[in-house]
Amino acid sequence: MGQLGRERLVIIGGDATGMSAASQARRLKGPDELEIVAFERGHFTSYSACGIPYWVGGDVDGPDQLIARTPEEHRERGIDLRLRTEVTELDVDGGRVRVRDLESGAESWTGYDKLVIATGARPVRPPLPGIDAVGVHGVQTLDDGQALLSTLTALNGTPGRRAVVVGAGYIGVEMAEALLNRGYEVTVLNRGEQPMSTLDPDMGRLVHEAMDGLGITTVGGANVTTILTGDGGRVRAVATEDAEYPADVVVLGMGVEPETSLARAAGLPLGEYGGLLTDLSMRVRGRENIWAGGDCVEVLDLVSGRERHIPLGTHANKHGQVIGSNVGGGYGTFPGAVGTAVSKVCSLEIARTGLRERDALAVGLRFVAVTIESTSRAGYYPGAAPMTVKMLAELRTGRLLGAQIVGREGAAKRVDIAAVALTAGMTVEQITALDLGYAPPFSPVWDPVQVAARKAVAAVRSAG
Amino acid sequence: MGQLGRERLVIIGGDATGMSAASQARRLKGPDELEIVAFERGHFTSYSACGIPYWVGGDVDGPDQLIARTPEEHRERGIDLRLRTEVTELDVDGGRVRVRDLESGAESWTGYDKLVIATGARPVRPPLPGIDAVGVHGVQTLDDGQALLSTLTALNGTPGRRAVVVGAGYIGVEMAEALLNRGYEVTVLNRGEQPMSTLDPDMGRLVHEAMDGLGITTVGGANVTTILTGDGGRVRAVATEDAEYPADVVVLGMGVEPETSLARAAGLPLGEYGGLLTDLSMRVRGRENIWAGGDCVEVLDLVSGRERHIPLGTHANKHGQVIGSNVGGGYGTFPGAVGTAVSKVCSLEIARTGLRERDALAVGLRFVAVTIESTSRAGYYPGAAPMTVKMLAELRTGRLLGAQIVGREGAAKRVDIAAVALTAGMTVEQITALDLGYAPPFSPVWDPVQVAARKAVAAVRSAG
């Protein structure tokens, strides 16, 4: 418990959610009212994990540039931040956590009045033979990034260096670009037929073609079975059911899962994807004094009405802000998400929001799907680049269900139009009437999103 | 009247609205059912007037590239298009228009069953001494663009060529860029203190500073009194109340007014700005068989609830689509606009949507205004450029009233987020929760629009 009249807030996890919550709570309540203790098992706090591929690729210096706020800055603001300190047990009935100092190994209990669980996610790492070989790297943390860069540095000068990336989601395609930039011959092994399973396969195929064009080999339907090692336990190849792919370095980009082992052991409510379940104020369901946010929770999908696991820095920051406000005596809510995500492979921009065809089918929606080709600028304006927009609309109501965009400059952030429209529950007909910015250097007179909406309107009407 | 059993649609004006309406009506009704006659007094149809500055500046070849569809293409689709033919009188009781062939001078009456008025806008051209001098140009039509280019070609090789642009709205700043690209020393004379009066003056000042940085001289508070001529009636300078500005060429960019002289003479309803008044289906109020759209109408401002004149190609195209659907036996509506506009001066992007401070005051709204600085990409990502966002929110309700953005790449189209949110009637708090696209190459983790919204939320709360 805290000192006389002073509450103690304990935060588990010192990244985006945890430290945003700490900062916002401190803004609202001074050290006399609220003691804030944050435990982080790593060496860093408040960093942009999303920036790691660009650091590895050499676009960004790191790791300092990726750190939004250092431990010292947090401490100067009256936050008792303990690095290299892991919480090993959560006693919710006793209102305390057991912590271990990872340097000394010492363990002790710390009580809390209010608790924030911001334990993040852990990378999926199947127990394949050889997965712990030298030269096999995840890219989840700054420590991971540093380790991968050390491997790449050691390989400098090796002729014909080859990299295999396992997984073709956001991290996979971004790491493929990074390794291409570092001069590697890059092969991406993907379980699905097309990269970017967050898109429908017809849109994923466009990404596949663009990656081919960049000289990245993408193998679909590839089930990795073994990581083969050579001298000194170093990786030498990745084997699938069908083939062997020589590799000097292997990057794992197979997605992440909520890190909720503490919460599970403590009996806190978890959802279908293993993430903590919260209410709109990010309070853990049924628990008065425990909040959770970031990659360890599930969020409400505003389009399907179902809970999903969407590990993204943008949500983690919002959650932290909301939790900090509520813990600090103000108020805030996180109403949910529509599933917006953007990425790029070299100059190819990739964006999605809302439901894919399979998502809409899974929740029993009846819909039309249309795809159009347009351009980023007026067709006659220099630099106008092709853009493909796919749009899903509900039958009869015409309600927008989702949009996917693949193109060059200006493709990614155009998805925000659809993201806001989804949040507002707009129909595709309402989208055709939107007053969007138009000038020849920025858009055709009908924005590509509206061209798609017009086709969707016609499809909804003709489907009756 | 049309032939037995066949209706005749007459369209006055062959640009975006008129020809979009013709095309859409033809899609819905074949020539056996609907005769379509379109009168256009100029030489061209369906062209992008918004592209003229880029043609003049040399970024775009013209004029063919600016023409979306040629007269021949329209005629092949069964549209009886008469170029160089001016409608001189409108007899709504008799259901007929008097037309003059501008080549032969012959006049005749043509009857209609349905009429579309798409007469566009005319540039403001005050009766200043010297305004018709050689070398003084408007930039409203392709003919204007061609004439200006002839003047510029004739001046090629003249050392120290000087251009004066009168007016610092969209056309003014875009023409300043075009003339700078052509090697002119450019001076912009502006009646207001800051350029871009569609922005609040504090945001206009940022445009002013950027233009200074580009070597464009912008003079605020400049009332042009006379255009001074020299040899052969050629322009030699522009005089204001305070000074004289030498000029080899003068471009007028003083805005436009609805071209509604025919409609006015025919007793059709006009609004405060001289534009035709219509209902949501773009039917002229109180007239069963007359539609109007484009730069000659006023549109409903969805934020203020007032009619405004917003001459923009994007609305003109939407109006044409809606009119063509309704005339052709389908249905469509244009619900109104929120006043979105984007532009650029070299690499500076300028965007606005919704109400400025003066607009909000004019309709009696009480509001807070906040301004923030952010960046186009994650701060650490190469190419991250500064971006300034101003946001207005209503007191107590927190409803978004308007947004203005000035910055580099990615600034202009970001205004679409605010445009969709305005249309949906969102509060600034709802904007902070939007699920917008985030990845380091495309945005900071909090999009600049959301950074502004967060500040607006705080301002609304503290104002009580």
A346 carries an active-site annotation: no
Quick one: which H or E segment has residue B250?
strand B249-252
Name the residue with tokens 């056309």. B171
Q: For residues B117 and B153, state if they share a domain.
A: no
Best of B61, B435, B447 to mutate (most A CBs within 10 Å, chain A) = B435
Mean pLDDT of B23-39: 97
Start-end of H helices in B118-169: 142-155
Distance from CA of A94 to the nearest CA of B (A): 34
So what's the pLDDT on residue B38?
98
Nearest CA-CA partner of A437 in B265, B313, B177: B313
- B349 close to B414: Cβ distance less than 8 angstroms: no
pLDDT band at residue A449 under the 50/70/90 scheme: very high
pLDDT band at residue A62 under the 50/70/90 scheme: confident
Q: What is the pLDDT of residues B319-371, one digit of tens each?
A: 999 999 999 999 999 999 999 999 999 999 999 999 999 999 999 999 999 99
Nearest CA-CA partner of A437 in B355, B338, B430: B338
Ramachandran area for residue B246 (φ above 0: left; ψ -120 to 50: alpha; else beta): beta
Q: Which residues of B touch A380 (CB under 8 A)?
A: 48, 51, 60-61, 65-66
> Is A62 contained in some domain?
yes
SS3 B208: helix
Q: For residues A420 and A405, state if they share a domain.
A: yes
- Mind giving me the DSSP string for B402-458? EEEEEESTTSSTTHHHHHHHHHTT-BHHHHHT------TTT--SS-HHHHHHHHHHH
Distance from CA of B339 to the nearest CA of A (A): 7
Start-end of H helices in A345-444: 357-362, 415-423, 428-432
Cα distance between residue B445 and residue A49, in whole Å: 11
SS3 B122: strand
Q: For residues B114 and B171, state if they share a domain.
A: no
Cα distance between residue B48 and residue B287, in whole Å: 30
Distance from CA of B417 to the nearest CA of A (A): 6
Selecting among A50, A60, A68, A83, the annotated active-site residue is: A50
So what's the pLDDT on residue A4?
64
Q: What is the pLDDT of residues B49-87, one digit of tens each?
A: 899 999 999 999 988 999 988 999 999 999 999 999 999
SS3 A283: strand
- B429 close to B418: Cβ distance less than 8 angstroms: no
Q: What is the pLDDT of residues B98-132, one digit of tens each?
A: 999 999 999 999 999 999 999 999 999 999 999 99
The pLDDT of residue B7 is above 80:
yes
Cα distance between residue B214 and residue B206, in whole Å: 13
- B444 close to B375: Cβ distance less than 8 angstroms: yes
So what's the pLDDT on residue B267?
98
Cα distance between residue A279 and residue A300, in whole Å: 9
B437 to A412: CB separation less than 8 angstroms, yes or no: yes
CA distances for A435 relative to A32, A200, B316, B317, B334, angstroms: 50, 28, 12, 12, 10
Q: Which residues of A touch B438 (CB under 8 A)?
A: 50, 312-314, 340, 342
B314 to A417: CB separation less than 8 angstroms, yes or no: no
Q: What is the pLDDT of residues B127-155, one digit of tens each?
A: 999 999 999 999 998 999 999 999 999 99
So what's the pLDDT on residue B46?
85
User: Amino acid identity of B379?
Assistant: G
Cα distance between residue B417 and residue B431, in whole Å: 9
Structural domain ending residue among the three candidates A204, A230, A254: A254
Q: What is the pLDDT of residues A93-113, one digit of tens each?
A: 999 999 999 999 999 999 999
The pLDDT of residue B3 is above 60:
no
Distance from CA of B161 to the nearest CA of A (A): 26
Cα distance between residue A333 and residue A322, in whole Å: 6
Cα distance between residue A455 and residue A428, in whole Å: 9
With a pLDDT cut of 70, the percent of chain B lying above it is 99
Q: Which of B48, B419, B423 sits opposite A378 (nearest CB)?
A: B48
Distance from CA of A342 to the nearest CA of B (A): 5
Q: Which two tokens stand for residue A408?
A: 């060059």
Selecting among B50, B102, B155, B346, the annotated active-site residue is: B50
pLDDT band at residue B464 under the 50/70/90 scheme: confident
Q: Which residues of A touch B312 (CB under 8 A)?
A: 438
Q: Which residues of A touch B413 (CB under 8 A)?
A: 410, 413-414, 437, 442-443
Q: For residues B145 and B223, state if they share a domain.
A: yes
Mean pLDDT of A280-300: 97
Q: Which residues of A touch B54 (CB under 8 A)?
A: 381, 440-441
So what's the pLDDT on residue A1?
47
With a pLDDT cut of 70, the percent of chain A lying above it is 99
A437 to B60: CB separation less than 8 angstroms, yes or no: no
Q: What is the pLDDT of residues B283-305, one digit of tens each?
A: 999 999 999 999 999 999 999 99
Structural domain ending residue among the three candidates A209, A227, A254: A254
Angle, nearest 10°, between helix axes B170-181 and B201-214?
A: 10
Residue A299 pairs in a beta bridge with: A308
CATH number at residue B422: 3.30.390.30
Q: Which of A51, A302, A338 sits opposite B378 (nearest CB)?
A: A51
Q: Are strands B136-137 and B121-123 parallel, antiparallel or unpaired?
A: unpaired
Pairs of CB atoms within 8 A across A/B: 200
So what's the pLDDT on residue B315?
97
Q: Which residues of B touch A313 (CB under 8 A)?
A: 438, 445
Residue B257 pairs in a beta bridge with: B122
Cα distance between residue B356 and residue B352, in whole Å: 9
Q: What is the pLDDT of residues A26-35, one digit of tens each?
A: 999 999 999 9
CA distances for B299 relative to A39, A274, B88, B385, B423, angstroms: 57, 51, 25, 35, 14
Cα distance between residue B320 and residue B46, in whole Å: 11
Q: Let me know if B138 is exposed, middle or buried by CB neighbors in 10 A (0-12, 13-18, 19+).
A: buried
> Is A335 contained in some domain?
no
- What ipTM score was computed for the predicted complex, to two decimals? 0.96
Distance from CA of B344 to the nearest CA of A (A): 8
The pLDDT of residue A7 is above 50:
yes
- B335 close to B302: Cβ distance less than 8 angstroms: yes
B416 to A419: CB separation less than 8 angstroms, yes or no: no
Q: For residues A246 and A281, state if they share a domain.
A: no
Q: Which of B414, B423, B439 sits opposite A50 (nearest CB)?
A: B439
So what's the pLDDT on residue B4?
64
A419 to B413: CB separation less than 8 angstroms, yes or no: no
CA distances for B28 relative to A403, B24, B38, B424, angstroms: 28, 7, 17, 31
User: Amino acid identity of A311?
Assistant: P
So what's the pLDDT on residue A130?
96
Q: For residues B142 and B246, state if they share a domain.
A: yes
Q: Which residues of B touch A424 (CB under 8 A)?
A: 420-421, 423-424, 426
pLDDT band at residue A46 under the 50/70/90 scheme: confident
Nearest CA in chain A to B299: A435
Nearest CA in chain B to A384: B60
- B331 close to B281: Cβ distance less than 8 angstroms: yes
CATH number at residue B216: 3.50.50.60
Start-end of H helices in A215-352: 261-265, 313-327
So what's the pLDDT on residue B1?
47
A50 to B440: CB separation less than 8 angstroms, yes or no: yes
Q: For residues B117 and B15, state if they share a domain.
A: yes
Mean pLDDT of A264-271: 98
Nearest CA-CA partner of B353 in B319, B392, B315: B392
Q: For residues A144 and A206, state if they share a domain.
A: yes
> Is A129 contained in some domain?
no
Cα distance between residue B288 and residue A262, in whole Å: 71
Nearest CA in chain A to B65: A380
The DSSP code for B234 is: B
Mean pLDDT of A414-421: 98
Q: Which two tokens stand for residue B438?
A: 């985030």
Q: Which residues contact A144 (CB under 8 A, 6 or more apart)?
A: A52, A137, A138
So what's the pLDDT on residue A2?
47
Q: For residues A245 and A265, state if they share a domain.
A: no
Nearest CA-CA partner of B299 in B121, B111, B98: B121
Q: Which domain holds residue A237?
A: 136-254
Q: Which of A61, A340, A436 sits opposite B416 (nearest CB)?
A: A436
User: Amino acid identity of A4?
Assistant: L
Q: Are strands A217-219 and A185-189 parallel, antiparallel or unpaired?
A: parallel
Cα distance between residue A458 and residue A435, in whole Å: 20
> Is A336 contained in some domain?
no
Q: For residue A160, count other CB atoms closer than 10 A to its CB.
A: 9
> Is B129 contained in some domain?
no
Cα distance between residue A25 and residue A36, in whole Å: 9
Mean pLDDT of A411-425: 98
- A369 close to A390: Cβ distance less than 8 angstroms: yes
Q: Which of B302, B315, B381 sits opposite A54 (nearest CB)?
A: B381
The number of folded domains in chain A is: 3
Nearest CA in chain B to A337: B435
Q: Which residues contact B145 (CB under 8 A, 6 or more apart)?
A: B52, B55, B56, B62, B63, B139
Q: What is the pLDDT of residues A352-399, one digit of tens each?
A: 999 999 999 999 999 999 999 999 999 999 999 999 999 999 999 999
Q: For residues A364 and A322, state if they share a domain.
A: no
From the DSSP assignment, how many helices (H) and strands (E) are in chain A?
12, 25
Best of A28, A434, A435 to mutate (most B CBs within 10 Å, chain B) = A435
Q: For residues B144 and B249, state if they share a domain.
A: yes
Cα distance between residue A286 and residue A279, in whole Å: 9
- B85 close to B41: Cβ distance less than 8 angstroms: yes
pLDDT band at residue A464 under the 50/70/90 scheme: confident
- A35 close to A80: Cβ distance less than 8 angstroms: yes
Q: Which residues of B touch A416 (CB under 8 A)?
A: 414, 416-417, 434, 436-437, 447
Nearest CA in chain B to A345: B441
pLDDT band at residue B2 under the 50/70/90 scheme: very low
Cα distance between residue B152 and residue B154, in whole Å: 5
The pLDDT of residue B318 is above 90:
yes
Q: Which residues contact A384 (CB under 8 A, 6 or more apart)?
A: A375, A376, A377, A378
Q: Is the peptide bond before B63 cis (omega within 30 degrees of 0)?
A: yes
A60 to B440: CB separation less than 8 angstroms, yes or no: yes
Q: Which residues of A touch B66 (CB under 8 A)?
A: 380
Angle, nearest 10°, between helix axes B415-423 and A415-423?
A: 20
Mean pLDDT of B255-277: 97
So what's the pLDDT on residue A77?
94
A437 to B353: CB separation less than 8 angstroms, yes or no: yes
So what's the pLDDT on residue A3?
56
Name the residue with tokens 């609004």. B271
Q: For residues A11 and A117, state if they share a domain.
A: yes
- A385 close to A409: Cβ distance less than 8 angstroms: yes
Q: Which residues of A touch B412 (CB under 8 A)?
A: 437, 439, 441-442
Q: Which of A302, A435, A446 sits opposite B423 (nearest CB)?
A: A435
Cα distance between residue B151 and residue B153, in whole Å: 5
Q: Which of B59, B342, B423 sits opposite A437 (nearest CB)?
A: B342
Structural domain ending residue among the three candidates B254, B271, B296: B254
> Is A249 contained in some domain?
yes
Q: Work out the mean pLDDT of chain B and round it to a whole number.
A: 96
Mean pLDDT of A128-134: 96
A344 to B420: CB separation less than 8 angstroms, yes or no: no
So what's the pLDDT on residue B170?
94
The pLDDT of residue A5 is above 80:
no
> Is B312 contained in some domain?
yes
Distance from CA of A421 to the nearest CA of B (A): 7
Sign of CA dihedral B187, B193, B198, B203: positive
Q: Which residues of B touch A420 (CB under 8 A)?
A: 417, 420-421, 424, 426, 434, 436
> To 5 degrees, how large is the angle CA B376–CA A355–CA B332?
85
B413 to A351: CB separation less than 8 angstroms, yes or no: no
Q: Which of A65, A424, A440 sits opposite B380 (nearest CB)?
A: A65
Nearest CA-CA partner of A411 in A403, A402, A400: A403
Q: Which residues of B282-305 are buried (b: 16+ CB within 10 A; e: fewer)?
A: bbbeebeebbbbbbbbbbbbbbbe
Distance from CA of B317 to the nearest CA of A (A): 8
> Is B179 contained in some domain?
yes
